[in-house]
Amino acid sequence: MELQEKTPVHVFTRVDKDVFLRDIYPQRRPAVLRGVSLGPCLEKWTVEYLAQKGGDKEVKIHVSTVPQMDFLHKNFVYKTLTFNEFVKRASEKKHTDFFLCEDESYYLRSLGEDVRKEPADLNKQFPDLAKDFHIPEFFAPDQFFSSVFRISSCGLQLWTHYDVMDNLLAQVTGKKRVVLYSPQDALHLYLSGDKSEVLDIDSPDLKRFPDFVKAKRYECVLEPGDLLFIPALWFHNTLALQFGVGVNVFWRHLPADSYDKKDPYGNKDPVAATRALQALERALHTLDELPADYRDFYGRRMIQRIQKRTYCDSLTNSTAQEGSDSTLPSGQFTKPG
């Protein structure tokens, strides 16, 4: 029995900057963009070519004995390999050289030169390969944050998480299934920080996660050449149906000073959200001065106050009504150039 109905992600063809900015971007919903020119990478990026051009630069990779990687319980190890050796291993099913077992899975999320300070940038870390990949100019150059290699073994599944920046995920080779959930379904995803505790989204443990079925599942299969627009805060879970090479580009959608300056990954909450969450912790601590029945009473009133003040009906409607032309609370958002 199918657990959750799958809602296909809308596919757009013949998208240029004008169409993106007019018809797609303001909806704040994921969209597959098919046929946007990504440059010669589509023809060139074979395993041999990647290995030759990427050379023996060292990369830090995730390695696991099982294809479903779990960040919360860390069922993988970080290892270092040269890029050419990594690509070779990630593209094969069984390995003669391995760390854990002969059918181990590999995943690369490329990093900046100074991992803790610098976001990944293909132009800096892989200049020879970056020439082959054309970033669609859908946002202003000063909004650019990072460009990240996403290279996975066949079958590799990455945990459900959200990022705080807008994102174009380009699939260059191989096919990838992507499942997405709206930010408004956050409460049904059993979050631990930016990640969902529900690892097996296809066969979830409903005793532990009974509300997971309430989350609306959006799904698409990316083919080579496809771009997926993932708006900030939308949860995504990826499953490589084949060995695949992707690149994702994050850009700043809010004013630059809204973001945490020490965030090379683009997944730390905006500074105002962090401050608000800290204030909430202080408020809860204050409630601890009261007996349980009073805490319950004032806790409920606080929830109601937060809902009244923050919930945005126009967003709820746009999630419920497929294809409706929702409007955003505009003042906060910068348009991407």
Ligand X SMILES: O=C(O)CCC(=O)C(=O)O
Please, what is the minimum distance in Å from the beta carbon of residue 17 to ligand X?
Answer: 21
CA–CA separation, 157 and 170 (whole Å): 17
Q: Nearest-CB residue to ligand X?
A: 248
HSE, CB side, 13 Å, CA atoms: give it for residue 266: 30
30/231 Cα distance (integer angstroms): 6
Coil, strand or helix: which one is 307? helix
Q: Quick one: 232 or 326, whose CB is closer to ligand X? A: 232
CA dihedral 66, 69, 73, 77 (to 10 degrees): 80
Least separation in angstroms between CB 175 and ligand X: 12
Q: How far is the CB of 3 from ligand X (least distance, A)?
A: 23
Burial class (CB in 10 A: 0-12, 13-18, 19+), 149: buried
For residue 63, the minimal CB distance to ligand X (Å) is: 15
Neighbouring CB atoms inside 10 A of 228's CB total: 23
Rounded Cα gap, residues 65 and 10, in angstroms:
35
Dihedral of CA atoms 20, 21, 25, 30 in degrees, nearest 10, equals 0
Question: What does the DSSP assignment read for 317-330?
Answer: HHHHSTT------G
In contact, 133 and 171? CB cutoff 8 Å: no
The least distance separating ligand X from the CB of residue 137, rounded to whole angstroms, comes to 19
Q: Is 268 helix (H, G, I), strand (E, B) or coil?
A: coil
Least separation, in Å, of the C-beta of 233 and ligand X?
12
169: β partners: 228, 248
Task: Compute the least distance from the CB of residue 134 to ligand X, in Å.
Answer: 18
Distance CA 178, CA 239 (A): 6
Q: Is 158 or 233 the residue whose CB approaches ligand X more closely? A: 158
Residue whose CB is less far from ligand X, 28 or 236: 236
Residue number with CB closer to ligand X (212 or 250): 250
| Site residues (vs ligand X, CB under 6 A) | 150, 152, 158, 163, 167, 169, 236, 238, 246, 248
Give the residue with the Cβ less far from ligand X, 68 or 326.
Answer: 68
Question: Of 110 and 152, which CB lies nearer to ligand X in the complex structure?
Answer: 152
Q: Which is nearer to ligand X, 91 or 167 (CB)?
A: 167
Q: Residue 63 is inside which H or E element, if any?
A: strand 58-64
Residue 171 or 184 with smaller CB distance to ligand X: 171
Q: How far is the CB of 239 from ligand X (least distance, A)?
A: 9
How far apart are alpha carbons 65 and 178 in whole angstroms?
22
Token duo for residue 3: 């657990």
